[in-house]
Amino acid sequence: MPIYEYACSSCEKITEALRSMDAADEPIECGHCGFNTSQRVHSVFSAGASENISANMSLPTGSCGTCGNPGGSCGMG
């Protein structure tokens, strides 16, 4: 089951919930204030990598965080 994020229209805080895809758009009770006014919001997807892959993919010190340019001056970052 996926984890969804819901924004409360009362307290404006985010609550996460593990729900089926069929129930994803149904409002839930806010985990902070208890009101039933939360609506699903788009969230950022994240995936972890193993330590070996992460170490091999690290950028050189001083490089641009966007393109990896060792000079750090590509204009993209």
Tens of pLDDT, residue by residue over 39-64, are: 999 877 767 665 555 455 555 555 55
Domain for residue 33, yes or no? yes
Residues with Cβ < 8 Å from 52, sequence gap 6 or more? none
Q: Is residue 27 part of a domain?
A: yes
pTM, two decimal places:
0.55
What is the count of structural domains for the chain?
1
- pLDDT, one tens digit per residue, over 12-40 is 999 999 999 999 999 899 999 999 988 99
Residue 11 tokens read as 């307290």
How far apart (Å, rounded) are the C-alpha atoms in residues 18 and 29? 13
Q: How confident is the model at residue 5 (pLDDT cuts 50, 70, 90)?
A: very high
**3-15 b/e with 16+ CB inside 10 Å = b?**
ebebebeeeeeeb
CATH number of the structural domain spanning residue 34: 2.20.28
